Structure 1
Amino acid sequence: MKPTHKRLIMGTMGLGGSWESPDYEPADIDLAHAVLEKAKEIGIDTLDTADIYRHGASESVIGEVFKRDRELERHFRVQTKCSIQLPNLQHPWTRYNSAGTYIREAIELSARKLGRAPEIMLLHRFDPLMDLKDTAFAIKSALDSGTIGAWGVSNYSAWQVERLADEVGSYPVANQLELSLSARGFVEHAMNAPFTGSRPGSDYQPGTVEYCADHEVQVQAWSPLARGAFSAPEVSSPTADKVRELAQTHETTPATIVLWWLTMHPAGIVPVIGTTNAERIASCRDALAPSKLTRLEWYELLTTVRGGNCP
């Protein structure tokens, strides 16, 4: 099953109460309901969550909204993730688990919280201790049984995708990477220029984005707005000023300009927006349409954020 959703995905990392515990209140369900309604209103049809978001409460409040509003349940496809284990009192460190048993249990738990099988399950991070055959068998079993509709990965480099795909016998439908005007190593490397400006974890193996595009693995961008670094109204910088100028030119919002810079890339990048603010969700509406940036404007924005000409 290939992803059929539109040019934006609604991320739900901000839903489900506090990051301190898996507990949530009726107000957290109300907020999730409002976010899903606004996402549907602007034309988004896919939700992105994970079993660790808010210690599992993100999936739970989505399931609660689906019970409350069957129209929203019918409208949205759900993509969730597993394989990261958060620190706890017994084990105060983050670790990864891609063992087949763990994957099967995670899929079952996500389905119970959501109230249905997730359409797509992504492996959240590459597990250095992964037994490829064991992990692949769990993925294939889940696909065959219909407990997931499709499989994908997140934060995987090209060689990691290739190794697992060989064992599964099919390519993942998606690879979710940190990509933005800030995390732009994928562009810098393509120009054969050393790049040290990205945050840790966002400077992927050169060619990963192109590899995914060549193998019809949808490239999804997490944190595509770089936490508002170039589109928030209070931000002042040469890049933010250029973004605002282009927004005026194209009669749209700064958020849309930042997203258009990504979606104009020939890999067909699909941004995952994560705000819980209805106004900010609405500000991304135009990004569901093809980018209106010209080639000149795209490079003008790149040059501005680089602080100098391309090599």
Structure 2
Amino acid sequence: MSKEWPPRCPLPLEAIQQLLIHYLASGRGYDDASVAAAASEGNRFFQQKDFGRALDLYGIAYEVGRLHYAYRPLLHDLLLRRILCHSLLGRFEQALQECHTAAWLIPHEATCQLLFGVIYSKLGRGEEANSSFQQAVATCWDLRDLVDCLIAFFTKQHGFMDRAIRICTQVLKRNPRYPLAMLVRGDTHKCNQASKTARHSATADYTALLELDFSYQAILCRQAPKPANHTRADELLLSFHPFLQMQTPRPYASYALCRRKDPLVVASLVLLAVTKLRIMSTSGKMLRSVQQAYDELLEQRAQLQRKVYGLMLTQQPSA
């Protein structure tokens, strides 16, 4: 039996049709201006933290754009914002469903994989979260420090304070001026009641963070009142992701290759992207193999140390 071909038209969203009817009845249509207006209004409400209305307007822009001119980068940006809105509103299953839609639109995109990891972590699905985080780093190596700090954040949320501190410390060894590692480690020290020096360590990390950039005071002041507050992860993601905060949906004309008719330019850029993806994939596999070999050496060293320690105990004269 031959495998069925996937649909070419982008997948529709659920529970948007009634909103779309009202939007079209207000004088809008299936055109560039209507998509741009809905996306712009969604961006405005998102900045105002009115995530419910932003979610609706991003959905309207997606549905109009899907049927008007299905330019995938724009639709993908709209879905990423909707995923963030769902996550901030606590609608994790809906966020996960739209993550799959975004991954269908543009497969193996690093930010989408990162959002998969965040949503899976909120749902308590650790294996899927780790796999998504690893794929995000394999696709975009620049996200490594951010991913490690998010893993440390969720590790802290589950009560493993010492492990979260170790992860942040490893990040700071690689990048001593990485602010998110200072912030998460400071938060972890602050919550670590078992350590007598926790308060002093937290103060040291917060001081180093403010010395790096005093504007981080705003993030410190937005500390969640409860350790389990799920919105904190999204705030950290938006604040420290290298481009997600600025990657807002925008009009068609703002996208560099939208409606470009020069086939040579488009083909050259596609080949460049494919080549870069293959290089990054190869380097990711090489890194994983080196890391695996290093872990095996550490395990062999630990076994040898245990054997030597056992021999020393057997050779000691009995008292």
TM-score (norm 1): 0.30
Normalized per residue, the structure richer in strand is: 1
TM-score (norm 2): 0.29
Normalized per residue, the structure richer in helix is: 2
Which structure carries more relative contact order (alpha carbon 8 Å, separation 6+)?
A: 1
Is the radius of gyration larger for structure 1 or structure 2? 2
